[in-house]
Structure 1
Amino acid sequence: MPIVPTSRPHTSASPSSVPISRPEIQPRARIRRPVPAVLQSVESSSNAIAVTPVEPGKGEYEVGYKKPPKHSQFKKGQSGNRKGRPKGAKGLNTIVRNIYTKKVTVRGASGSERMSKMEAIVHKTVEKSFSGDMRAIDKSLKLYAQCVPDEPIAVAAPVESASTADMDAHDKAILAAYRRTAREEDDE
């Protein structure tokens, strides 16, 4: 075997600087395995579809977009998400629906009555709006407009259209002073 010289020049007689002889590296021989007959029929182009062998008697199964190989498909009766939501588990929408649709007994002026919790809430809101609660009135009107869009809500005429004949002298003086200040602000 030939001795391969090192890249550094030999300057001293130390054991670390002695040239090392190595065997020549031989390339490994490649072994070509035979390709199955099913795969030989596929074109060698880059956009060819690979074909996997299937049971005899059935046609070839093409693997591609939305067609995974048979061995990696879900087995029949086996879940794809084994640790998924268990049977009987409820989502938030179901829980809220169940709570608001439960029946409760409400005592009113006409006696006891059974109704859902949602109905009781609407009754209470309407009752508060009749007692003069402005928030309840606003909520009731919005709820009515949302639930009954076909019927318009009758709104009282604005106060500005009232005639000055119903005012006394003091009210007329206040209105005149207000108009003067409004004109002065517009001029500025």
Structure 2
Amino acid sequence: MVSKQKLLKVGKLLLLIWGAISLFGVIVIGGYTYYTLTWGNKTEINTATKSDVRFVLNCCGLGDDRIENVVNSYTSAQSFTGDYLDAYEIQISNVSIDELTKKGENEILSAKFYRMDNLPEVLNEAVTFVDGWHHEIPWFPKEYELRTKDFFVYPRRINCYGLTPNAAELIFINPAEKKVYYLGTKM
């Protein structure tokens, strides 16, 4: 037979464990709420500077010295799972079609610019993937506007789940307008 004191001891231990679990839950929920509502995670609209976006032109080998100004920018809050949306519209001083189609010493690894009306399948899927954000970034060209011979795309990064993109960083360039559009997203 179990004594009353032993039952009280076990009951106390169970209550202590339950209290620790509850405290941990309150800390996690409070931390999440604090993180999402305060300094660490805010959406920023039209606050990007030239130095914030220079990586866009540097990573595709064009160089940040061409940046004239950042026309539009959108940097979303990032979720705990890493989901985000970053987009920039950048006015540049010059870029030529020859420069975008030329291979040579300016080429970074195997990446290159592709004309938007002639894309490899995975890049085609990535362009479709990044098109669904117009409620957040209405200034960004729509897919049908991008899919012309006037635009070129540089695939900085495409992550796939199987054959379906779930994250992408694409750089679109319209040489005639001297505009660069960057979109990075993960879902």
TM-score over 0.5 (shorter chain): no
- Larger strand share, 1 or 2: 2
TM interval, shorter chain, is: under 0.3
TM-score, normalising length: structure 1 = 0.23
* Larger RCO, structure (CA 8 Å, separation 6 or more): 2
TM-score of the superposed pair, with normalisation by structure 2? 0.23
